[in-house]
Structure 1
Amino acid sequence: MGAGVSSMVGPEAEAIGLGDLPEACVAAVLCHLDPPAICGVARLNRAFRGAASADFVWEPKLPGNFSYLLEKIASQEPVRKGISKKEIFARLCRPNPFDGDSKLLWLDKRHGGLCLSISSKALSITGIDDRRYWTHIPTDESRHGTVAYLQQIWWLEVEGELEFWFPEGDYNVFFRLQLGRTSRRLGRRVCHSNDVHGWEAKPVQFQLAGGVPLCYYLREPGSWVLYRAGGFTASGKAGRLAFSMRQIDCTHTKGGLSLDSILICPANLKPPVNGRCLTQQ
C-alpha cells in the first residue's frame, strides 16, 4: 500500500517547481522586496521575470510625485510615453539633468529616496565674475563636470535657493567642498594646495533660511567633504528652500577652496560621498 501511494504522489510532486507558481502570487510576494532584490529574483525563471515587471510591484517603489519628476527631466531628454513603472523607476535612478544641466535628480536604488544636486554654476557667489577671485575648473570629480575654485578673497559668501516639490519626509542639505585643486598627472590624482590659507582663523558658517547656523573649520586639503547646512521636513507639496555659506571676517584673506555643489538627500540615507561627511544636529 505504501508503495502504491508513493508511486501516485512521487512523480507529480517532483514535477512541481517555482515555475508553476501563478504569476499573480509571485508578484504579491515581490511587492515586499526592495528593488535590487526584485531584479535578482527576476532571473530565476520566466514566471518570476514576468511578475517582476508588473506595474503594481513597482508603483509603491516610486515617490508620490514621480509624474512631476518626469516633467522636470523631460525638457533635457524626452520621456517615452506608455513606459512601464519599472522603466520609470530605472530612468529616475540614473542622474537626470534639468534646469539647463545646472541640477541633477536621482532616486536611491534601494529605498527610492529622492536625491538632488545643484551645481556651483547655479549658486550666487560673491566675486564669481572676477577671475582674480574665482574660476570655473573642469573636473571628473564632480557630477556636474566643473567646480568653482576660489584663489583668494576677503569676503566669502555663497547663496542659493530652490523651488521644488519634494516627497514627504525629512531631508539634509550639504555643501560639497575641498581644500585645494585636483588634477591628473600620468593618470594619478594630484592635489595642488599652494593657494590654501586663512581657513584656520575662523570657522565657515553654513545655514538654511530660518534655521540655526552650523559652523565648521575647513581642513583636510585634497579630500572632498560634505558639510551639513541643516535639515528640513517636506510636506509633500512644492516649496522654497534657501541656503548659504559665509565667512565674512575681513581681517584676513582665505583661498584655495573648491566648491562643487549642494547635495540634498533623505535624512535616513547615508550621503553618497567620496571622502568625509561632517554633521551637527
Structure 2
Amino acid sequence: MQTVKRLPRSAPPSRLDMNDLPQDLIANVLSFTGPRESCRLAVVSSTFWSASLSDTVWDRFLPPDILSILSRTTNASDPDFASNKKDLFLRLCERPILIDGGRKSFSLDKRTGKKCYMISSRDLHIIWGDTPRYWKWVPESDSRFGEAAELVGVCWLELKGTIPTTMLSPSTLYTAYLVFRSPQGGYGFDHQPVEVSVGLSGSDKTVRSVYLDAGMVKRKRLQQERGSGVYPKERGDGSYEVELGDFFTKEGVGEGELEMYLAEVKGGNWKGGIFVEGIEIRPKEAK
C-alpha cells in the first residue's frame, strides 16, 4: 500500500491593514467614487482621510473645463485654479461665482459635482423689459447679481432664457427654476396660472401650468401638492422658486441651445409685484 506524504501546512495569510496601502492608490480609488462618498470614506481611517485630501481625488470631481470657466469670472477675489482642489470644489458648492460680465453665476452641486448656473434677469429676453412703465431694474441687495427686474404691471407676461447645452454637464437630468421675490405678495397671479416649458430651441416642448402666487399654497392648504413643482417653494434666502421643467443632456449630442420659457398671455388681467432674479439650472433633486 502506497504511503501518501503530507505537505507541510502553510502559514495563514496575514491580515491586510488598510494603513499599509499606498496613499496614492487609495486616492486613485476614491477619485472613482463621488464627492459625498469620498467624504464618507474619509472617516474609515487616518490613511483614508489623508488620501481624501489629495488633488488626485478632487481634480476628478471638478469639471474638465473648470479652468476655462474660472477665466470668465468678474471678481478678482473669486477662487482660482491654483487653490487646493478640495477647497476649490467646496467653495464653488457654497458660494456661486459671477461670470460673463456678471450676467450669469456658476456653482457646483455638492452631491454630484455637476455644473449649476443661474441666468440673471438682465440676461433674459423679457417682452416690454425695456419699458419702465411695465418693468423696472431695481437694486436688490439680497440678489447675487445686485439687481432684479421688477414687474410693475403687464397684461402680457412673457420671458425666455437660453443657455448652450455644451455649458452643462453631460448625461445629467437638469431642472430649470424661475427665481423671484414677492415682498408684497404680488397681484394678478392668485387664480391665473402661467405656462412654462423647457427644451431645445426649435423643438417641440411639453407645456405645463404653474402658479407664481407665493401665498397660494398656504391660503388654500394644498398640502398634497407642495412637492409637485406647480407652486412656488421658498428658498433659504427668502426668495421663491418654481419649476419650469426638466431637460436631460445626452452625451455625444452636438451643440444646441436650451430654451426656458414662461408666459401668461391668455387671461388678459393685469399682474405685477414680483421681482425676477433669474432662471436657475441645476441637477434634478431626488424626491
Q: Same fold (TM over 0.5)?
A: yes
Structure 2 match to 1:255: 272
Distance (whole Å) between structure 1 residues aligned to residue 250 and residue 75 of structure 2: 26
Give the alignment of 1:1-281 within 5 angstroms: 22-28=22-28, 30-31=30-31, 34-35=34-35, 38=38, 47-48=47-48, 50-73=50-73, 76-77=75-76, 80=80, 83=83, 85-93=85-93, 94-163=95-164, 164-169=166-171, 170-178=173-181, 180-181=182-183, 192-193=184-185, 196-208=186-198, 209=201, 210=203, 211-221=205-215, 223=234, 224-235=240-251, 238-249=255-266, 251-267=268-284, 269=285
Q: Bigger CA drift: 92-101 or 138-147?
A: 138-147
How far, CA to CA, are the matches of 2:178 and 2:43 in structure 1?
40
Residue aligned with 2:256, SS: strand
Q: Percent identity?
A: 29
Query: Is there any run of 5+ residues in structure 2 with no aligned partner, and where?
Result: 1-14, 217-233, 235-239
1:8 matched residue in structure 2: none
**Residue-by-residue CA offset, 1:207-254 (whole Å, 9 max, x unaligned):** 234311121233233951322234242436643222221111363211
Q: SS of the residue aligned with 1:72?
A: coil
The answer for the alignment partner of 2:10 in structure 1 is none
Can you give the 5+ residue segments of structure 1 that lack an aligned partner in the other structure? 1-12, 182-191, 272-281
Compute the RMSD of aligned alpha carbons.
Answer: 3.4
SS in 1 for 2:249: strand
Q: Give 3-state SS (helix, strand or coil) of 2:69's partner.
A: helix
Contact map agreement 2:127 2:157 (CA 8 A) in 1: yes
**Structure 1 residues 105 and 214 mapped into 2: Cα distance closer, same or farther (>3 Å)?**
same
CA contact (8 A) 1:175 1:229 kept: no
| TM-fit CA distance, 1:172 | 1.7
Secondary structure in 2 matching 1:128: coil
- Structure 1's 150 and 85: CA in aligned 2 closer, same or farther, altered over 3 A? same
CA contact (8 A) 1:125 1:159 kept: yes
Mark the CA change 1:124 to 1:28 in structure 2 (over 3 Å): closer, same or farther.
closer
